Structure formats: C-alpha cells, structure tokens
C-alpha cells in the first residue's frame, strides 16, 4: 500500500492533470532508469520515445538542457488533439538536438604561406560550424555566411550570352579567367533555369580560361541568357579566405582557414561537423506536440505513407511544432560530391489509401527557421496552420529541381485549406517566398527583402500558381524592399492550350519598393490594396493584366478591381499602341487611384503609417481606397508579422522623424498578451526606468482594446521616447525604448 501511495504521488507531481512526465538528461541520465524525475532520468530521447509507446495519450518526454546527437524514430504513437504526447524542453530549459559532432583531431598542420589548417578527421561531414555558427564552404567568387554576402549575386559569376547547355562562358564581371583557379572537380551551382538552380561537377576547366564544362543531363530548362549565373564551390583550389573550409572525403582531410589565423584547439568542442540530416523521423503517428527545442544542423522528417502491397497505410495527423528553433536545418552534401537538393523540414501529412488522398493536420507555431541552404519548410495536409514564425536568411543557393519541393520557396505548401498567418520572412533568398496550395489563406505576413541579392531569377514574395488560385485568399500582408513581385497570380505566357488560373482574392495588402502586384488569370477579386514605389521603370505597380505582350489571350474579363491605390495601375503594356498601356482589366473596375503622388494621400508612408489622409482623395469616393480607415475610426491599426513576447514594430519607425501634428503611435502587440502598458516622455533614461508609479506611465490597454495610443500635443524640433510593456498573466515583458523626432 505504501509503495502504491508513493507511485500515485509521483504520478500526480510528474503529470499534473494530464499524464506522466518522463525526463531525459544526456549528462546524468541512464537508459536503464525509470525516467521518472530528474534523479532517474533517461539518457537518450529514443529511450524516452520507446517508453511513450507503452503509455497513455498526454504523457510527456521532457528533455534537460544539453546536446543530443541522435536520430530518433517515432512510429505508432496515437495521441489525440486534446491529449497529445509531448516531446519538449524541461521547464525553461532548451535542449539542443544536435546534428553535429565535435572535430577533435590529434593535431592540426598549419601552412604559414596560405594560412590553411589541415587535419585528418574521422567522420564525413557536409557542414562545418564554429561556436554554433556556420562556416562557408570554399567558393569562387568569395562570399561568406557571416556577412551574408553569399545571398548577393554580385558575388556570383555571370554567364556570357554565348554560353550553352553544358558549356559556361564567364562574362568577365567576376573574372574567372583572371582568378587563376583550376575549377575542375569543384561543384558548379548553376542558376541557368530561371527559378531553378542546378548543381553539377565541373568536368573541365583550365586555369586562365573563362570557360568550363559540365554534364547537362537535365534536359530542357528555362534558359535565360540575360539572367544566367553561377558560382563554384567545394574545391581545394578555391580555398583562399578566412572562414572557408574544404573536406576531402577521399583522404578524410579537413582544410580550414581560421579567421584569427590560429588553428582550433583539438581538445575544444567548439568546431563541429554535421553528420546527419534528419534528427527526428516520424510516421504512423497522431496527436504529437514537439516544443521548446533547438534543432542545430538537424531537421524533422514527418510523413504519411501509402498502402502498398503488404505495407499498410499509415498517416500523420495532429502533429504540432511549437516554439522550436531550426538553425541551419538544411545543408547540401555538395562537399561530398552530391548533386542532390538539400533535405528540408518535411511535414507531409498526406498519402494515398485505396485510391484516394488522405490528409492529416499539421501546425507550425512560433518557430524560427534560420540559415537553411534549401527550402526551410515543405508541408502537406488539410487545414495546416503555419503561424507566428520567423524565417530569416534562408536559401542562399536556391538548389531545387522538382518533385515534392518543386518550384521551391521559403514556405512551400502542397495541401488544402492551409492558413499561413502572422509570419515574418526576413531577407531570404530564392525566387519565391510563400508558395501556397489549394484554397489557402495567406494573411498578416510581413515579408522584407525577399531575394534582395537576386540569387535566383523570376518569382514573387507570394506566388500563387494557376492551379491553386481558385479559393486563394491573400490579405493584410506587408511586402517590401524586394526586386521580386510582391504578389503574383501566375499563368503561363503565352497561354497556349493551358487553362488560366481563376477565382483568387487579393485584398488589403500593402506593397512597396518591389516589382509590384501582378494579376494574371480571370474572375479574381482585387480590392483595397496599396501598391507604391515600384523599384524602377515606368511600368505598373498594380498590374491587373488585360493582355501580355503579343499573346492574344484576354485576361481578367470577369475580375473585380476596386478601391485600390497605386503609383501606377494599368493592364500591362499595349504593344499595339506602344508605349501606351492597357487600362486596368476587369468586369468591375471602380474607385481606383493611380498617380505618382500616391504617397501624398497617405499619412506617413516613410513611417509605415498607411492610413489615408482625412479629407483626401482616398476618402472621397464612397468607399475608402486602400487597406486602412482614416484617423482613429477603429481602435486597431493592423500590423503584420511575427509577434514576440515583447512589443515590436513601432510606428513611427524608431529613430525617424515625423510631423509634430502626429496624434497617435501604434505598435505590434506581444504574443499572447493580456495587457499593454504605455510610457511616454522626453527623457530616454526616465522612460527606460519608469514603472507604473511614475509620471511617464500613461495608461493600460487590454489586448482587445487595440494598439493605437493617443499622444499629447507635440512640440516641433523635439525628440520623444516611448515604451510599451506586455502583461501576460503575472509576468511583464519589458519593451524596448523607441524614439522619434518632430
């Protein structure tokens, strides 16, 4: 009886009201332990997962801080939406699911003439990290991860127009001939397919020559002489700059040029090589939540599989990723001579069963994806929920060919009815940002600097292909500072025998300093968008296409185009009456504004305040033009992008000047906030140190009371400081101190 009482107490303490909590500790645990409590923790995650298989829904694996270099396979877990199995960090601890091993050779050799350190190592590695940050495979032209130049095509070679399949001629911009390198045997990263980038070994190259050859075995590609570009990687002859490395798997020698000129300490564990792609493999599982873990150079592969012969159908359903950090989740194997595209975070809750597609549900919430070589996230399912995530500095090669990841993208959807909301995409590369699928909802996303370095041709920040336009809903997104289209409903040109896309919705979006919004197809609704400051040229910023060049196809016969504001809004160039434009296309085209003075109609576009000027032309047509109402008619000024636990995205933008007539400030509220506390004044230190007992404290807004804060009358030529804290339960997340000038 006493033993039963003790076990019951342990169950209640470990479990709360939900289930048993098993503990994993890589340093102090032992897989022969019970896993109950920190003193009897398991050592490996796999052992804990095996324990869950015999447990009830709601049971948990809680992982202590530390590094876990494992490939864990989960199969046969059957939790529920209300009582999922949980694998997550223990308390506030954040463990590292580590795809790397320490590089600890017996000794390093140092070449004083070249600055190269070399050593024999045991494992074949395909990425190298120092202090958990990425080092750059040796390449030409030189570029680095550390300063993000590897995203910029100024650091690529560019192809002469006489280049052809299998034969690249450098145009001299980067100077392959002048470099003196022998590129034979290195890997050529070839953006010779517009939105597709291939990788092939260099078959032949002579030092001093601008030409090299490769095996063009990929058939027809969308070759474009104007935009074809390349760089070379993973050859010892390319190793010439600090932070570069090469691994020769035939000799197992690692070569490295350290930034400080000193070879790494062989006893240190700070230099690490990646040896695994997927640290977590999941199938035949439902009702599973994974939370509060950092995946370092490791990734997740979750997939349903179809009925086939004697193998039964098994699905993924109710898989939830919450507050994970994926740091360098996808790494190519080019250093090992592979031309395969990098393996991506793969959440495929779809498989065929008895002739029909069966889809489950997946969510990815409050996660971070940073430094992925390939596509960060590919997902399939029904009603997948991709919400409040950060995608930052991903896709520096754009290496994708087709198949499941065909077309690429930062967020690539393949399912139905997905919701992609409140995400921030920050200076990612590749042709496409968000590439959603059927009946999608894409809303409240903030996309900044997509493909700013032009490391791949074509594409858009939000690209909807023709087969997925029917039912697509794109709304309340900000997209800016990109050489790509902001939003594009695409259709092949010339159309030929293809069917154009139709039935999409794009409304209440703000797009600036991009190639604008381009709408092909038909029977769309395009309303209340603001599209300003096209990057260059005099072409449309809002393009609801009537005809494309000489293609006789007429687009957008049934489209509704209303209440939009743009620097220039039209239906595309009229080649029959050059250089004039077709008018905006549509069956209903009403109350749109097109003019170079469009910024004058907005309160303060330089400070991201896109409300229409009260009494201006945007407010005089019955319906409001643009995505916002004027003045303070509503209590919320919607701001897209990922919410942090503290407030963010101040308006006016911190450090900028604004009019002394400004009467409000706005902000993006905290994640899961209950209240926001507002501080305002003219003394930075007092605002920094103020509490709710000080005069700088103004008032508190409940989360449902909006994000518009009224100001006192401002003085001219003055500086003001403000802060907004988040109250979440009993915890306060102190905000940054922001400022503006009048």
Give the pLDDT confidence of 31-77 residue by residue, as tens digits.
999 999 999 999 999 999 999 999 999 999 999 999 999 999 999 99
CB contact set of 620 (below 8 Å; sequence gap of 6+): none
Helix extents (H) in 16-76: 45-53
Q: How far apart are CA 549 and CA 543, in angstroms?
A: 13
The pLDDT > 90 percentage for the chain reads: 90
Distances (CA, A) of 650 to 397, 400, 709: 33, 37, 11
The token pair at 340 is 């395969």
How would you classify residue 660: left for phi > 0, otherwise alpha for psi between -120 and 50, otherwise beta? alpha
What SS3 class is residue 394?
coil
Condensed to tens digits (0 to 9), the pLDDT of residues 172-213 reads: 999 999 999 999 999 999 999 999 999 999 999 999 999 999
**Res 18: pLDDT:** 62
Q: What's 531-582 look like in SS3?
A: EECCCCCCCCCEEECCCCCCCCCCCCCCCEEECCEECCEECCECHHHCCCEC
The token pair at 222 is 């969308």
What letter does residue 12 receive in the DSSP assignment?
H
Q: What is the mean pLDDT of the chain?
A: 95
Condensed to tens digits (0 to 9), the pLDDT of residues 361-392 reads: 999 999 999 999 999 999 999 999 999 999 99
- Give one DSSP letter per residue of 605-636, joined into a string: GGGTEEEEPTTSGGGSSSSPPSSS-STTSSS-
Condensed to tens digits (0 to 9), the pLDDT of residues 530-583 reads: 999 887 777 899 999 999 888 899 999 999 999 999 999 999 999 898 889 999
Q: Which residue has the tokens 């042709």?
A: 431
| 3-state DSSP helix/strand/coil % of the chain, to nearest 5 | 10, 35, 55
**By C-alpha distance, which of 614, 593, 500 is closest to 553?**
500
How would you classify residue 234: left for phi > 0, otherwise alpha for psi between -120 and 50, otherwise beta? left
- What backbone phi and psi angles, to 5 degrees, belong to 404? -60, -35
Q: How far apart are CA 328 and CA 618, in angstroms?
A: 45
**Res 309: pLDDT:** 63
Domain architecture of the chain: domains with CATH: 1-99 (no CATH), 648-741 (2.60.40.1220)
pTM value? 0.96
Q: How far apart are CA 573 and CA 533, in angstroms?
A: 18
Q: Are 471 and 241 in contact (CB under 8 A)?
A: no
Q: How far apart are CA 47 and CA 35, in angstroms?
A: 9
Lowest average pLDDT, out of 11-20, 151-160, 272-281, 433-442, goes to 11-20
Residue 178, class by beta-carbon neighbours within 10 Å (0-12 exposed, 13-18 middle, 19+ buried)? exposed
């Amino acid at each position: 009886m006493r033993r039963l009482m003790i076990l019951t107490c342990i169950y209640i303490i470990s479990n709360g009201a939900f289930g048993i909590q098993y503990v994993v500790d890589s340093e102090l645990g032992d897989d022969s332990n019970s896993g109950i409590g920190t003193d009897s923790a398991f050592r490996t995650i796999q052992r804990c997962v095996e324990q869950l298989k015999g447990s009830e829904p709601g049971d948990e694996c809680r992982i202590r801080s530390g590094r876990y270099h494992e490939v864990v396979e989960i199969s046969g877990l059957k939790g529920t939406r209300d009582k999922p199995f949980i694998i997550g960090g223990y308390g506030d601890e954040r463990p590292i699911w580590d795809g790397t091993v320490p590089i600890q050779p017996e000794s390093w050799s140092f070449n004083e003439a070249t600055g190269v350190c070399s050593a024999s190592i045991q494992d074949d590695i395909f990425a190298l990290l120092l202090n958990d940050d990425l080092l750059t495979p040796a390449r030409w032209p030189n570029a680095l991860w550390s300063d993000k130049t590897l995203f910029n095509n100024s650091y690529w070679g560019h192809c002469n127009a006489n280049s052809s399949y299998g034969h690249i001629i450098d145009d001299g911009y980067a100077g392959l001939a002048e470099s003196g390198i022998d590129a034979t045997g290195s890997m050529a990263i070839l953006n010779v397919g517009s939105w597709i980038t291939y990788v092939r070994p260099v078959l032949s190259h002579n030092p001093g020559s601008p030409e090299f050859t490769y095996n063009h075995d990929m058939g027809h590609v969308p070759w474009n002489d104007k935009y074809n570009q390349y760089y070379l990687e993973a050859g010892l002859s390319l190793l010439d700059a600090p932070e570069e490395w090469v691994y020769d798997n035939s000799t197992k020698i690692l070569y490295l040029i350290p930034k400080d000129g000193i070879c790494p300490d062989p006893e240190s564990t700070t230099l690490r090589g990646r040896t695994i792609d997927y640290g977590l493999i999941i199938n035949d599982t439902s009702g599973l939540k994974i939370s509060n873990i950092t995946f370092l150079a490791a990734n997740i592969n979750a997939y349903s599989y179809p009925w086939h012969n004697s193998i039964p159908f098994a699905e993924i359903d109710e898989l939830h990723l919450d507050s994970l950090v994926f740091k360098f989740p996808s790494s190519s194997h080019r250093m090992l001579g592979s031309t395969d595209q990098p393996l991506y975070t793969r959440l495929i809750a779809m498989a065929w069963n008895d002739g029909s597609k069966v889809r489950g549900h997946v969510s990815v919430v409050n996660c971070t994806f940073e430094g992925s070589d390939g596509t960060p996230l590919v997902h399939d399912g029904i009603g997948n929920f991709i919400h409040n995530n950060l995608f930052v500095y991903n896709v520096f090669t754009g290496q994708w060919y087709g198949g499941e990841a065909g077309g690429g993208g930062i967020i690539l959807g393949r399912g139905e009815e997905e919701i992609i909301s409140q995400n921030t995409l920050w200076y990612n590369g590749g042709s496409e940002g968000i590439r959603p699928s059927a009946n999608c909802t894409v809303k409240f996303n903030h996309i900044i600097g997509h493909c700013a370095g032009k490391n791949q041709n074509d594409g858009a920040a939000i690209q909807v292909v023709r087969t997925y336009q029917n039912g697509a809903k794109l709304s309340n997104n900000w997209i800016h500072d990109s050489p790509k289209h902001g939003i594009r409903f695409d259709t092949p040109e010339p159309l030929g025998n293809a069917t154009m896309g139709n039935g999409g919705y794009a409304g209440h979006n703000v797009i600036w300093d991009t190639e604008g919004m381009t709408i092909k197809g038909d029977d769309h609704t395009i309303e209340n968008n603001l599209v300003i400051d096209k990057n260059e040229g005099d072409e449309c910023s809002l393009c609801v296409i009537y005809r494309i060049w000489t293609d006789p196809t007429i687009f957008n016969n049934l489209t509704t185009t209303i209440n939009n504001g743009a620097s220039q809004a039209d239906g595309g160039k009229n080649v029959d009456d050059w250089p004039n434009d077709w008018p905006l296309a549509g069956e209903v085209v009403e109350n749109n504004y097109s003019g170079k003075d469009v910024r004058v109609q907005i309160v303060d576009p330089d400070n991201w305040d896109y409300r229409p000027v009260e009494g201006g032309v945007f407010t005089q047509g019955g319906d409001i033009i643009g995505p916002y109402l004027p003045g303070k008619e509503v209590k919320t000024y919607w701001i897209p992008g990922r919410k942090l636990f503290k407030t963010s995205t101040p308006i006016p933008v911190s450090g900028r000047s604004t009019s002394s007539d400004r009467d409000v400030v706005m902000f993006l509220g905290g994640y899961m906030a209950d209240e926001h506390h507002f501080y305002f004044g003219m003394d930075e230190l007092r605002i920094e140190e103020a509490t709710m007992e000080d005069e700088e404290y103004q008032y508190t807004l409940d989360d449902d009371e909006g994000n518009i804060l009224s100001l006192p009358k401002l003085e001219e030529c003055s500086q003001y400081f403000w802060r907004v804290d988040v109250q979440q339960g009993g915890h306060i997340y102190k905000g940054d101190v922001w400022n503006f000038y009048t």
